[in-house]
Amino acid sequence: MRIVFAGTPEFAVPSLRAAAMRGEIVAVYTQPDRPAGRGRGLAPSPVKREALKQGFEVRQPENFRSREAREALAALEPDVMVVVAYGLILPQSVLDIPAHGCWNVHASLLPRWRGAAPVQRAIQAGDRETGVCLMQMEKGLDTGPVLLSQSIPIAVHETGGQLHDRLADLGAQVLADGLGLLRAGILPVAKPQPDDGVTYAHKLDKAEAALDWSRPAPELANKVRAFNPWPIAEATLAGERVRVHGAIAVDAVAGSTPGTILATGREGIDVACGEGALRIRVLQRAGGRAITAADYLNGRRELLAAP
């Protein structure tokens, strides 16, 4: 086969490796290098680094609006184009180029959580299960029929970063299964997505990071997990703005003003919420590093007197 791979972030790297196992990749497309780090120098994407490491030709067009970009892709004569978190919307004129179209590895059980942040939104919503779909791409946003899928449970205390890594590996497995069928001359059966159960996983925004103590504790605990490692939940704790890296919901006597510290100790700092309490276990002061609640209390001993 002749495979063109298109992807950009770390999530796509395991799928790139899976697609490359038989030496069939003829080119790798990824986003142009972007400014990064304190010096704001141009940095290659994780997919570009992996592709260069493996010796693949790397292409980085801004988009496919030009005829030249589309003709360059068509000249590769791809049997299939594998797209994993590429970051560009592909027009129908591009989707029609590969003999078997474009296949997308998506980190949710479609039609739930179409869109940019399915991993984090699943945790934030309290989902017990998620998975990966291998989808035949069409013009709509993650609306194409599903070729293969596999589900996994979401662990009780799993963070966005941990689930991201598990789904990246699972996506590579599902992609490898699909490519294996195609090599054998078996085109996976495309199953249209149902109309019921559609939800959208909108892109994460740092403005969402603030914890609202008036909300139920389980909701806030899910948000803390989902937003780790980015953008990291933030809250005001006894007058100080902190980032919350780890927390769980616990029971609490009703009636306390949301945001009030109810208890402190080695297990954490319990803060009253609209329902229950959030026990903060790992947090970060401005300019500092993430530390345990016990270490934080060593620097704010006045909080040890909390009721």
Confidence grade of residue 304 (pLDDT, cut at 50, 70, 90): confident
Per-residue three-class SS string for the chain: CCEEEEECCHHHHHHHHHHCCCCCEEEEECCCCEEECCCCEEECCHHHHHHHHHCCCEECCCCCCCHHHHHHHHCCCCCEEEEECCCCCCCHHHHCCCCCCEEEEECCCCCCCEECCHHHHHHHCCCCEEEEEEEECCCCCCCCCEEEEEEEECCCCCCHHHHHHHHHHHHHHHHHHHHHHHHCCCCCCCECCCCCCCCEECCCCHHHHECCCCCEHHHHHHHHHHCCCCCCEEEEECCEEEEEEEEEEECCCCCCCCCCEEEEECCEEEEECCECEEEEEEEEECCCCEEEHHHHHHHCHHHHHCC
Binding site: which residues? Answer: 108-111
Q: What is the pLDDT of residue 306?
A: 60
pLDDT of residue 38: 76
The answer to whether residue 267 scores a pLDDT higher than 80 is yes
Q: Is the pLDDT of residue 37 over 80?
A: no
Every domain of the chain with CATH number 3.40.50.170 lies at: 3-201
State what percent of residues in the chain have pLDDT above 70: 99
In the predicted model, is pLDDT for residue 307 greater than 60? no
As its CATH architecture, domain 206-305 has Roll (3.10)
- Regarding the domain delimited by 3-201, which CATH topology (the fold level of the hierarchy) does it fall under? Rossmann fold (3.40.50)
Mean pLDDT of 258-281: 96
User: What integer best gives the mean pLDDT of the chain?
Assistant: 96
Cite the residue boundaries of each domain of the chain with CATH code 3.10.25.10: 206-305
Annotated binding site for (6S)-5,6,7,8-tetrahydrofolate: 108-111
Q: Does 28 have pLDDT greater than 60? A: yes
